[in-house]
Chain A
Amino acid sequence: MNIVLLWTDMLVWILVIVVAIWGLFISRSSQVQKQWHTVFKSSIAMASAIVLLFYLLFTLLDSVHMHFTANATASNGQTVQYKAETVSLLDLIFVHNLKSTERTYSAPFATHEYSKSVIVDDKGVTRQGYLPLRYVSKKGNLVEKSLFAVLVGLFISSLIILLHLFWQSSGNFKSVFLKNWKAQSVLPWRTAYLTIIFLVVLLTWLYMLSFDYHVLGTDKVGGDVLYQSFKSIRTGVLIGILTTLIMLPVAVLLGVSAGLFGGWVDDAIQYLYTTLSSIPGVLLIAAGVLSMQVMMDAHPSWFETTLERSDLRLLFLIMILGITSWTGLCRMLRAETLRISQMEFVTAAKAFGVGNLMIILRHIVPNLMHIILISVVLDFSGLVLAEAVLSYVGVGVDPTMYSWGNMINQARLEMARDPMVWWSLFSAFVFMFILVLAANLLSDRIQTVLDPRNK
């Protein structure tokens, strides 16, 4: 078994590590600590953050790839190495679903296929009927299994909560528990615990039942929709965070320089983003994706497996999205910088002979922080949705890659048939909706707290 490092895996882990280090670094400032403390005083923010953490957990689980080499003895006695497929940690968890591919559509919790097929029975009589599903167990009933799964879920979540209480209390365990439970603690831990219990129970229930059923049904070629939805998390979250990562430095650098230096710098940057933003975004992205496609076809040596190819395509898509989406933020930052650079504290800094770089870092960027933060989170939601739209149009991620956009794209024809195949679309929608909603709620709270004018 060796670990495989894909490009996007590397980027996302670097980002997580950088954010963690930065978090440690700034948490030494009591002011910053106080601010984030205030952010999480709101129970909505707490719940949203926990939901986002679960999404991040799935992304990270799905961002550790490895491949196994299978040894087999060939007929002439030599050992032959077969290269197996590259899989991620998430695939290992859902390995039963990976193997349990049905023939075609089946509804959630169904025991038979969704449409009739021709069956030839033992006597040679041909008739129309629903074929039973291959990987659905007939033993036990749904209610019993569900109850058992819920109990396991409760056990796991209470374990997590106990661990947290233990870490928090350092001794007088009971009083801390009572304080948290009666919602007397400073941070809304009760909401946090309830969210964790709800999420863990839901996830264990989904997971344990996925051994015996296709909990969210199967798609056209019999793939498990639950598994696809979980795999799509990585694509969505990656596009959301990595694109902002590429876009942010460009937007901040150009926006602040345009606003602060004025003159020809301002003119050049303004003409650049006016030109960029007057070309329809989808057209620009489609052109970028198509030329990238041509380039990848010309250099097959860049990737060895289909997984690497789709990963490379994802990376290019992220770059193209980043390059086309900085104009809005840049324009906002330029306007705000113009306003701030006229403020007297900037004049005071100039009168102290403070250099331009320090003025930008100390006086301008901190005062732009709320705009940057809010637009990052808003863009995050927008980009998750944009991925869906682009994949639907056909210029998004690789068709072999699991993504909510591809799921919707594949489900779109089935919306018209009667009875409707609704579960693919529904699952993609619910997973995407929860992510975007949580991100928006958290960003709302962050903005309220971080903007000094709201105090």
Chain B
Amino acid sequence: MMGSILKVENLSLTADKEKLLKAVSFEIKKGEVFALVGESGSGKSLTSLAIMRLLPDAISVSSGDIKLRNRSLFVLPEYQMQKVRGKSIAMIFQEPMSALNPVMTVGEQVAEVIKIHLGLKKDAIKKKVISLFEEVALKDPKERYHWYPHQLSGGQKQRVMIAIALACEPDLLIADEPTTALDVTIQAQVLKLLKKIQAERKLSILFITHDMAVVSQMADHIAVMRQGEILEQAVCEVFFNAPRHPYTKKLLKDAAHRKEGREKKQHTERLLEVKNLKVYFPIKKGFFQRTVGYVKAVDSVTLSIPKGKTLALVGESGSGKSTIGRAILSLVPIAGGAVIFEKQNLARLNQTALKPYRRKIQVIFQDPFSALNPRMTIGNIIREGMVSLGVGPKERTLQDVYIKELLLKVDLKEAYIHRYPHEFSGGQRQRIGIARALAVKPELIICDEPTSALDVSVRAQILTLLRKLQQESGVSYLFITHDLSIVPAIADEVAVMKEGKIVEQGSVSQVMENPQHSYTQILLASAPKLPYII
């Protein structure tokens, strides 16, 4: 029988009479990974803050208790709580960049924690830091001790965060979306590391995430949260084999992205072809900003987009996939190569000659919060492109009718036309972005990570909408993404990109089931998968 480390009993939180958490109870045993799963706003991060007693002042605990090794945390005075934080309970965050102090070397930051909680001698501290760095598999730990956070990559920073968390040998580690900001291959490495450390140290981990696939790899015990309530708790195998609550079933279904029965036609017509495309960004230095070299963001890329179909462009951050999208839109200067659309090389055209083609190629963005001008009404946002490119009716009242039709088409309400973007949720904003692109009746839409900022269930809705629109209007998509799991759900063909080059292109079944290039194989192996398709 393993002892209980943390026990949350009937925890309820309120802010201004609004109930944020409703009687949440769970128990974490020694050496167990407990996953708290839910969409944004479900209260999972609030739970972790309540455990650390770091809740904002506006939120108060209305009932319940949290016990660490059978000692209630709520009755502890603040100075004792400070000892609990960091020593008994440690935390790692989603964004390693903002969690590390940029003006201290990473070694000093780990050393500081050890000094405060363990009170070791200077040499002993340094030795301990280096052994910790070795444990989290940081290369050249002695060297890295003197590095600053900005010199490290995202994955390395997260390793340092883990080292800080482990420094005082805590009983419980709270990992709040620790891999969400990382690339797939790095995510796989960090998860493997966490798993290894957890096994070696018999550590208990409270793992907070929205990603079902990650949960299936990591967790022993799973709790699903929605709107401040725990809907279902189960052991991992039971959870994935026999989910009981309808919401859980829906979550798993949305996460699975079953392959759509897309009919396969051989040799489809090509809408757009990119030949040997090169985009170089100059590196400027010195007083007169002379160009001293180039960053080859896109280096001789050749790909083609099938008509009425979807090409998924997959790659990790910094691989240049978004730049290709921008180059097709002629929003970045092209250093060489051709973008051929309707037998016309767009790369050679100036702004005026390009205008007719602007109507035919449109774009949807990743961040629904920065994609819409906060000072314009939804109606004016959609109207802008219509007026600029001369699509649709000229008269204002008729334009309003046209815009309302579009809003209905993307499953929004007509009345939204006079509202402002801040009144909408992320998913609704993404729909508005889609309506804006559709307003000019494009033939190709470049979707630049349109779902990566959205929750699982919203993501599934947006993908369904995109598919529906494609069937209705025969529009083609260039779907740029880092998330391999959604590729089968949306794409017909896929191109894999690495460091500015396309390493592999082919139909989805070809590439996903029988990858040829080693990088594609690594990518596919790293992507967390759900164990069972329901």
Chain A residues proximal to chain B, CB less than 8 Å: 31, 267, 343-345, 347-354, 358, 362-363, 366-367, 369, 452-453, 455
Q: Assuming the A-B contacts A350-B331, A353-B388, are A344 and B355 also in contact, with contact meaning beta carbons closer than 8 angstroms in the complex?
A: no
> Which of B17-25, B368-376, B402-410 sits within the interface?
B368-376
CB contacts (< 8 Å) of A350 on chain B: these are 329, 331
Question: Which residue, B362, B372, B374, has most C-beta atoms of chain A within 10 A?
Answer: B374
Flag if B365 contacts A347 (CB, 8 Å).
yes
Flag if A352 contacts B370 (CB, 8 Å).
no
Pick the residue among B355, B374, B384, B433 that contacts A452 (CB under 8 A). Answer: B374
Instruction: Please name the residue on chain B nearest to A452 by beta carbon.
Output: B374
Query: Could you tell me the distance between the alpha carbons of A267 and B290 in the complex, rounded to whole angstroms?
Result: 12
CB contacts (< 8 Å) of A354 on chain B: these are 384-385, 388
Flag if B351 contacts A452 (CB, 8 Å).
no
A-B contact pairs, 25 of them (CB 8 A): A31-B377, A343-B370, A344-B366, A344-B367, A344-B370, A345-B370, A345-B381, A348-B363, A348-B365, A348-B433, A349-B388, A351-B331, A351-B362, A352-B384, A352-B388, A353-B355, A354-B388, A362-B384, A366-B375, A366-B376, A367-B373, A367-B374, A367-B375, A452-B374, A452-B422
Instruction: Please name the residue on chain A nearest to B288 by beta carbon.
Output: A267
Q: Interface digits, B351-363 against A, CB 8 Å rule (1 contact, 0 not)?
A: 1001100100111
CB contacts (< 8 Å) of A31 on chain B: these are 377, 420
Q: Assuming the A-B contacts A344-B367, A455-B422, are A353 and B373 also in contact, with contact meaning beta carbons closer than 8 angstroms in the complex?
A: no
Flag if B377 contacts A345 (CB, 8 Å).
no
B426 CB, nearest partner CB in chain A, Å: 13
A151 CB, nearest partner CB in chain B, Å: 48
Apart from A343-B370, A352-B440, what are 14 other A-B pairs with CB-CB below 8 Å? A344-B366, A345-B370, A345-B372, A347-B363, A348-B436, A349-B384, A351-B363, A352-B358, A352-B384, A353-B351, A353-B355, A362-B373, A363-B373, A453-B374
Residue count of chain B within 8 Å CB distance of chain A: 32
Q: Assuming the A-B contacts A267-B289, A353-B358, A452-B422, are A348 and B375 also in contact, with contact meaning beta carbons closer than 8 angstroms in the complex?
A: no
Instruction: Please name the residue on chain A nearest to B357 by beta carbon.
Output: A353
Query: Could you tell me the distance between the alpha carbons of A363 and B374 in the complex, rounded to whole angstroms?
Result: 9
The yes or no answer to B389 lying at the interface (CB within 8 A) is yes
Query: Could you tell me the distance between the alpha carbons of A347 and B372 in the complex, rounded to whole angstroms?
Result: 10
Query: Could you tell me the distance between the alpha carbons of A139 and B355 in the complex, rounded to whole angstroms?
Result: 85
Query: Could you tell me the distance between the alpha carbons of A141 and B363 in the complex, rounded to whole angstroms?
Result: 81
Chain B residues proximal to chain A, CB less than 8 Å: 289, 326, 329, 331, 351, 354-355, 358, 361-363, 365-367, 370-377, 381, 384-385, 388-389, 420, 422, 433, 436, 440
Query: Could you tell me the distance between the alpha carbons of A348 and B329 in the complex, rounded to whole angstroms?
Result: 10
CB contacts (< 8 Å) of B422 on chain A: these are 452, 455
Instruction: Please name the residue on chain B nearest to A339 by beta carbon.
Output: B370
CB contacts (< 8 Å) of B371 on chain A: these are 343-345, 348
Query: Could you tell me the distance between the alpha carbons of A455 and B419 in the complex, rounded to whole angstroms?
Result: 14
CB contacts (< 8 Å) of B351 on chain A: these are 353
A364 CB, nearest partner CB in chain B, Å: 10
CB contacts (< 8 Å) of B373 on chain A: these are 345, 362-363, 366-367
Query: Could you tell me the distance between the alpha carbons of A349 and B354 in the complex, rounded to whole angstroms?
Result: 14
B117 CB, nearest partner CB in chain A, Å: 38
Query: Could you tell me the distance between the alpha carbons of A367 and B376 in the complex, rounded to whole angstroms?
Result: 10
Q: Assuming the A-B contacts A344-B370, A367-B374, are A351 and B358 also in contact, with contact meaning beta carbons closer than 8 angstroms in the complex?
A: yes
Instruction: Please name the residue on chain A nearest to B289 by beta carbon.
Output: A267
Instruction: Please name the residue on chain A nearest to B355 by beta carbon.
Output: A353
Instruction: Please name the residue on chain B nearest to A356 by beta carbon.
Output: B351
Query: Could you tell me the distance between the alpha carbons of A354 and B389 in the complex, rounded to whole angstroms?
Result: 8
CB contacts (< 8 Å) of A344 on chain B: these are 365-367, 370-371
CB contacts (< 8 Å) of A343 on chain B: these are 370-371
CB contacts (< 8 Å) of A345 on chain B: these are 370-373, 381
Q: Assuming the A-B contacts A344-B365, A455-B422, are A352 and B385 also in contact, with contact meaning beta carbons closer than 8 angstroms in the complex?
A: yes
Question: Which residue, A345, A349, A455, has most C-beta atoms of chain B within 10 A?
Answer: A345
B297 CB, nearest partner CB in chain A, Å: 16
CB contacts (< 8 Å) of B367 on chain A: these are 344
Query: Could you tell me the distance between the alpha carbons of A81 and B233 in the complex, rounded to whole angstroms?
Result: 102
8 A-B pairs closest in CB distance: A352-B385, A344-B365, A366-B375, A344-B371, A353-B358, A343-B370, A345-B373, A452-B374
Query: Could you tell me the distance between the alpha carbons of A358 and B94 in the complex, rounded to whole angstroms?
Result: 38
Q: Assuming the A-B contacts A352-B385, A363-B373, are A347 and B358 also in contact, with contact meaning beta carbons closer than 8 angstroms in the complex?
A: no
A194 CB, nearest partner CB in chain B, Å: 31
CB contacts (< 8 Å) of B365 on chain A: these are 344, 347-348
Instruction: Please name the residue on chain B nearest to A349 by beta carbon.
Output: B384
CB contacts (< 8 Å) of B377 on chain A: these are 31
Query: Could you tell me the distance between the alpha carbons of A372 and B61 in the complex, rounded to whole angstroms?
Result: 42
Question: Which residue, A31, A347, A350, A353, has most C-beta atoms of chain B within 10 A?
Answer: A353
Query: Could you tell me the distance between the alpha carbons of A345 and B433 in the complex, rounded to whole angstroms?
Result: 9
A449 CB, nearest partner CB in chain B, Å: 13
A371 CB, nearest partner CB in chain B, Å: 13
CB contacts (< 8 Å) of B355 on chain A: these are 353
CB contacts (< 8 Å) of A267 on chain B: these are 289
Query: Could you tell me the distance between the alpha carbons of A350 and B365 in the complex, rounded to whole angstroms?
Result: 13
Instruction: Please name the residue on chain A nearest to B386 by beta carbon.
Output: A352
A342 CB, nearest partner CB in chain B, Å: 8
Instruction: Please name the residue on chain B nearest to A365 by beta carbon.
Output: B375
B325 CB, nearest partner CB in chain A, Å: 10
Query: Could you tell me the distance between the alpha carbons of A349 and B440 in the complex, rounded to whole angstroms?
Result: 12
Pick the residue among A347, A362, A369, A455 that contacts B331 (CB under 8 A). Answer: A347
CB contacts (< 8 Å) of B289 on chain A: these are 267
A271 CB, nearest partner CB in chain B, Å: 10
Instruction: Please name the residue on chain B nearest to A363 by beta carbon.
Output: B373
A353 CB, nearest partner CB in chain B, Å: 4
Instruction: Please name the residue on chain A nearest to B326 by beta carbon.
Output: A347
Query: Could you tell me the distance between the alpha carbons of A267 and B286 in the complex, rounded to whole angstroms?
Result: 12
Query: Could you tell me the distance between the alpha carbons of A181 and B163 in the complex, rounded to whole angstroms?
Result: 65
Query: Could you tell me the distance between the alpha carbons of A352 and B354 in the complex, rounded to whole angstroms?
Result: 10
Query: Could you tell me the distance between the alpha carbons of A43 and B387 in the complex, rounded to whole angstroms?
Result: 42
CB contacts (< 8 Å) of A352 on chain B: these are 358, 384-385, 388-389, 440
B420 CB, nearest partner CB in chain A, Å: 7
Question: Which residue, B358, B384, B436, has most C-beta atoms of chain A within 10 A?
Answer: B384
Query: Could you tell me the distance between the alpha carbons of A193 and B331 in the complex, rounded to whole angstroms?
Result: 57
Instruction: Please name the residue on chain A nearest to B370 by beta carbon.
Output: A343
CB contacts (< 8 Å) of A362 on chain B: these are 373, 376, 384
Query: Could you tell me the distance between the alpha carbons of A199 and B422 in the complex, rounded to whole angstroms?
Result: 41
Query: Could you tell me the distance between the alpha carbons of A453 and B375 in the complex, rounded to whole angstroms?
Result: 11
B369 CB, nearest partner CB in chain A, Å: 9
A410 CB, nearest partner CB in chain B, Å: 49
CB contacts (< 8 Å) of B331 on chain A: these are 347, 350-351
Query: Could you tell me the distance between the alpha carbons of A358 and B358 in the complex, rounded to whole angstroms?
Result: 17
A370 CB, nearest partner CB in chain B, Å: 10
A141 CB, nearest partner CB in chain B, Å: 58
Query: Could you tell me the distance between the alpha carbons of A453 and B440 in the complex, rounded to whole angstroms?
Result: 30
Q: Assuming the A-B contacts A351-B358, A352-B388, A353-B388, are A452 and B420 also in contact, with contact meaning beta carbons closer than 8 angstroms in the complex?
A: yes
Instruction: Please name the residue on chain A nearest to B358 by beta carbon.
Output: A353
Query: Could you tell me the distance between the alpha carbons of A277 and B132 in the complex, rounded to whole angstroms?
Result: 50
CB contacts (< 8 Å) of B385 on chain A: these are 348, 352, 354
Query: Could you tell me the distance between the alpha carbons of A350 and B325 in the complex, rounded to whole angstroms?
Result: 13
Query: Could you tell me the distance between the alpha carbons of A189 and B363 in the complex, rounded to whole angstroms?
Result: 50
CB contacts (< 8 Å) of B389 on chain A: these are 352-353
Query: Could you tell me the distance between the alpha carbons of A349 and B371 in the complex, rounded to whole angstroms?
Result: 10
B307 CB, nearest partner CB in chain A, Å: 20
Query: Could you tell me the distance between the alpha carbons of A358 and B367 in the complex, rounded to whole angstroms?
Result: 23
